Chains A and B, each alone.
Chain A
Amino acid sequence: MRDVIYKHAGGIRGGKQLKAFAPSGPSSGYLPASMVDVALDFTALQKAGSMLGSGAIVILDETTCMLDMALNAVRFYRNESCGKCVPCRVGSQKMTDMLARWTQGGLSETQYKAELELLDELSTAMAQASICGLGQIVPAPIQSVLKHFRAEIDAHVLKGQCPSGICFTAAGRAGEANRVGIRP
């Protein structure tokens, strides 16, 4: 993976630090920079909890907010859901709502714990019950972020802080308000 980023693609723009990467678009989940030496083949990626799917690699630098990226991916799935089965149609919206709320912060410890539990249940249901791959993969980005970047999410939800300075700015909030909920 390191070779792909630094050798073949010419490194990160502006010499910034690598934060995370998705070997196969958001569907494969985000892996942290520490795993950059993973080999780009099926078994190695599977072992790392990811996959070599479409092969559309996403590279994130140090200025990105991981929760924002997860939200962005879920919102994308929601928009692309065909609406046929319940878990995908409703679940993708419920997950979008949940993550959007996390980016606003202000939850108590107990609330957060309950939310995490609910997210887990929702993720399992979507992965197990959706008809096609789209619904089954919706939970992947947020689950990977929870696994590798848990501290960043805690900061958002409990302290109202975005380590990357994206979520709690006026611009961020205005943009979010427009993006939550269904499109007209």
Chain B
Amino acid sequence: MSTASAPPGMVDITIDGKAVRAPAGTTVFDAARMNGVAIPTLCHLQNQTPVGVCRLCLVDTGARVLAAACVRPVEPGMKVVTNSEKVLGARKTVLEMLMADHPSPCARQQHSGDCELETHAKAAGIKQPRFAKRTISRGKDESSLAIAVDHDACILCDRCIRGCDEVKTNFVMGRMGKGYSTGIAFDLNAPMGDSTCISCGECMVSCPTGALTNKGVVGTEITTGPGAQGFEAEELLRIPVFKGVSGTFLEMNRGAIVKRTFRKGEILCKEGEFGSTAFFITEGTAQVSISTPIAHVKTQGGSQGFFKRLTSTLVGRDEDKRDEEARDRTIPIDGSVDLNYGNPVAEFGPGDLFGEMTCMNFYPRSATVRATTDVVAYEMLRNVLDIMMKNKTFRAQIDQSYKQRALENHLRGVPMFSDLAPDFIEHLKGSIELQRFAPGQLITQQGDPADSFYLVRIGFVKVSENYPGGELVLAYLSRGDYFGEIGLLGGGLRTATCTALDHVELVRISGDDFRQMVERFPSVRKGLEAVAAERYASNQKRMQMVHSVPIDQFLSQGLMEAQSLLILDLENCTRCDACVNACADAHEGVTRLVRDGLRFDQYLVATSCRQCRDPLCMVGCPVGSIRRRNSLEVIIEDWCIGCGLCARNCPYGNINLHPFEVMAEDPERPGRKKAVIQQKATSCDLCTHLQEPSCVYACPHDAAHRVDPKVFFAEMLGQGSAK
């Protein structure tokens, strides 16, 4: 034992004769654990406040009675004995008492053989408890759809209760009764299924025994439908990538995974549809494609005479180049490959997983997948995919598949990386790291040292900057976007906070690799620096705007960011709606403006895209085709699949879906085409093809104006001179 006295805040004790130093306030249990002494326990969990009720972690501290190590703090000079006959005897008797009342083997022991009570009892050498068995059953509760309760298997360790109340703060569970008839209870002892329980499952995963078990949700919609086949968990476990997944888990989640066989030509999933499943192909190949025309909506004027004929047509970027349009060569989709802009078709084969975004984040399908041979695929819900992703074998295969097939495209999809040499990409394949983030999780924090560069693989990342009075969302990044370069190229500190908005997966390139990359490839450096400078400048510009206008108006209306507002002078306006009609006429019956909105003095700010501070429209686009230009305007890229999510997300109703009749492959008769309606999202284009926006032109009372809000409202607010 050391003779030096413990420094302040530290306590010296002995555990089984061994000198141990621990911070004051540490429990004996933790002090022992940190020094490699395992003390058995049933009621103690790392993530819950210790309660010391099971009395299995008993230790001798020299006091009159034994102490529960999980609640007993260390004291100077304490001599702890964890393995004396007295201690072991008391522990064994406690276990024997519990086993006498335990319906052994309980549901958990039967399913997975890992009931904690039975495991401890076996280790203590208890075969047949000598005490009388329980005579009166406390009963079972099968009322919940998801969780079965066997009160007889319950040892009242309170782990479920703390899970429900402390961890999830649902406050549904508690104890009822007293003494030997005590039991866990939901609400005021209501049946679990009738209680306010939300079936989050925290109690079940906290339970050490078979008292709370998963009922195995069967009969969900995914177990039926085309090509569905039943299968046994063992069959699944024979497939290499499923190796290591708990058979019990698969058995209990029977309804959440289904094996489907698709015949050649059948469709596995369709772009734009909502879904909640991911597919894993084990046999056959399938083609993945986007059938919506790769084009954006353009309104074209006919002659410039009095009778103008306007038409809306679909044109690609090669025919109609718009300002700052993305020149990406690839279209990001929800799978392990990216599609080529010119020919958006690729192939999935055995070992490919697709639909992860739909499954984890419930975004619409990003592409259509059609079987090119007979295909066998496992379709799974989120709970199964989540467990699969935690399985090392499966995870390794998915990561490998990404590195081999998608990383290069992903990198080269970012224009300035197109010059990377193949050998460097090979090097990156070995050194990058795929990281997963849960919704709301912080990725980088403004002001922290920058140590890595990230590419977004799945999900949405919110980039925001703090300013006095609030948070300004700078951008939402989705697949194919990258961040972290400003910090690495600049002062070495993060300039913005990045948060996972939903289930996010990132490709992390370490700071060292990043520096190596910019040193070796000057063009990459140049490109990155240009973009970083641009991003930085536009962020600064926006921050300045934030500072130069009255903050509440800015926050409540988001007007100051708008480039061109349609305002209606209510003193002149007769509410004739000619502006709305004109807009509809200009865009084939689909108006992009509504004569309603916020009022500012005598002006009505009509509903038209205002380039919000927090562009909600961009969250969830399954193909990443809606984004901000550097000028802050919202642009919809050519590969919009018309799912309509952005239109639904826009709080101001400023994004519309414009239907077009196009020729597309007939799903019933492969090889032949038929006319179908395809939708495209559109937002106000300011009628840039005309001399004046249609709405302004059409107003008979000179009430409609298009203005630059910064100039206009500056005057309005009395800062400038009158017009």
Contacts and interface: CB of A to CB of B under 8 A. Distances in A.
Contacts of A121: 89, 93
Given A86-B55, A118-B131, A182 B181 contact: yes
Give the most central of A81, A82, A87, A89: most B CB within 10 Å: A89
A83 B132 contact: no
B182 interface: yes
Contact of A129 (B66, B98, B155, B179): B66
Contact of B98 (A82, A90, A98): A90
A108 to B, nearest CB: 15
B179 A86 contact: no
A85 interface: yes
A80 B182 CA distance: 12
Contacts of A47: none
B385 to A, nearest CB: 39
B135 interface: yes
A59 interface: no
A124 B156 contact: no
B97 A128 contact: no
Contacts of B89: 121, 124-125
B180 A90 contact: yes
B65 A125 contact: no
Interface in B467-522: none
Contact of A94 (B52, B97, B175): B97
B372 to A, nearest CB: 62
Interface in B323-341: none
A89 B156 contact: yes
Interface string B527-539: 0000000000000
Interface residues of B, number: 32
B180 A89 contact: yes
Given A86-B54, A97-B132, A98-B132, A92 B180 contact: yes
A82 B181 CA distance: 10
Contacts of A86: 53-56, 94, 97-98, 155-156
A114 B130 contact: yes
Contact of B93 (A81, A114, A122): A122
Interface string A144-184: 00000000000000000000000000000000000011110
Nearest to B94: A86
Interface string B171-199: 00001011111100000000000000000
B100 interface: yes
A94 B131 contact: yes
A112 B155 CA distance: 29
Interface in A57-97: 78-87, 89-94, 97
Given A85-B55, A181-B136, A182-B181, A90 B93 contact: no
B136 A89 contact: no
Question: Main SS of the interface on chain A?
Answer: helix
Contacts of A114: 130
A114 B131 CA distance: 11
A127 B65 contact: yes
A81 B100 CA distance: 19
Interface string B75-118: 00000000000100110011001101100000000000000000
B159 to A, nearest CB: 14
Contact of B90 (A93, A97, A129): A129
B322 to A, nearest CB: 71
Contact of B180 (A81, A84, A87, A118): A81
A80 to B, nearest CB: 7
Q: How large is the interface on A (under 10, 10 to 19, 20 to 34, 35 or more residues)?
A: 35 or more
A129 B180 contact: no
Nearest to B60: A128
Interface in B28-53: 52-53
B207 interface: no
B53 A84 contact: yes
A114 B128 CA distance: 14
A128 B179 CA distance: 19
A82 B65 contact: no
B58 interface: yes
A101 interface: yes
B94 A87 contact: yes
A124 B90 contact: yes
Given A87-B55, A89-B180, A94-B131, A129 B100 contact: no
Contacts of B182: 82-83, 89
Contacts of B179: 78-83, 89, 92, 182
Contacts of A78: 179-180
Contacts of A85: 52-55
A131 interface: yes
Contacts of A87: 55, 93-94, 97
Contacts of A89: 156, 179-180, 182
Interface in A113-135: 114, 118, 121-122, 124-125, 127-131
B90 A125 contact: yes
Contacts of A182: 135-136, 179-181
A136 interface: yes
Nearest to A84: B53
A131 B97 CA distance: 16
A89 B101 CA distance: 12
Give the most central of A86, A90, A130, A131: most B CB within 10 Å: A86
Contact of A183 (B58, B132, B181): B181
Given A83-B175, A87-B94, A121-B93, A128 B131 contact: no
Contact of B86 (A81, A83, A128): A128
Give the most central of A79, A84, A101: most B CB within 10 Å: A84
26 contacts: A82-B178, A82-B182, A83-B175, A83-B182, A85-B53, A85-B55, A86-B53, A86-B155, A87-B93, A89-B179, A92-B179, A94-B131, A98-B132, A101-B132, A118-B131, A121-B93, A125-B89, A125-B90, A125-B97, A129-B58, A129-B94, A130-B65, A131-B55, A182-B136, A182-B179, A182-B180
Interface of B: 52-56, 58, 65-66, 68, 86, 89-90, 93-94, 97-98, 100-101, 130-132, 135-136, 155-156, 175, 177-182
Given A125-B97, A128-B58, A182-B180, 13 more contacts: A83-B177, A84-B53, A87-B97, A90-B100, A91-B97, A94-B97, A94-B132, A98-B132, A121-B93, A125-B94, A128-B90, A181-B135, A182-B181
Q: Nearest 8 A-B pairs (CB), nearest first? A: A83-B182, A125-B93, A97-B132, A81-B179, A90-B97, A93-B180, A94-B131, A129-B55
